[in-house]
Amino acid sequence: MINEIAFVGVPVTDIPRARAFYEGVLGFKPSGKTDGAWIEYEIGHGTFGIGNYGEQWKSSEGGTMVAFECDDLDATVERVKQSGAKIKMDIMDTPVCRFTIAADPDGNSVMLHKRKSG
């Protein structure tokens, strides 16, 4: 039986460029293993990693998406816009949450999410 997600990994083509986005724009701090081809970030109770392993693991604009819970969705979206990163979808407001979808430098979808209280 599966009882938790060990980590989420996203393939990237350019580690320094990806780090500039995830660390510089989204504010992540590296933790755990960082070997040049793989970098981990502890987020809440989980781990998010980016990696570059050449042809065996490629990014995909239409592939896997990761969703990050934000303290302040509007401020996070503004930082992403100011960085020049692509916003793929305007903020959607649902009865339980607000979210938008951005793209990292490789086109991987990154959901920026904020649960509503209650």
Confidence category of residue 59, pLDDT binned at 50, 70, 90: confident
- Mean pLDDT for 67-83 is 95
Separation CA 25–CA 48 (nearest Å): 15
What DSSP designation does 75 have? H
Distance CA 52, CA 12 (A): 5
Kindly report the pTM of this predicted structure: 0.86
Average pLDDT over residues 72-95: 95
Architecture field, domain 8-115: Roll (3.10)
Q: Where are the domains of the chain?
A: 8-115
Q: What is the 8-class DSSP label of residue 22?
A: I
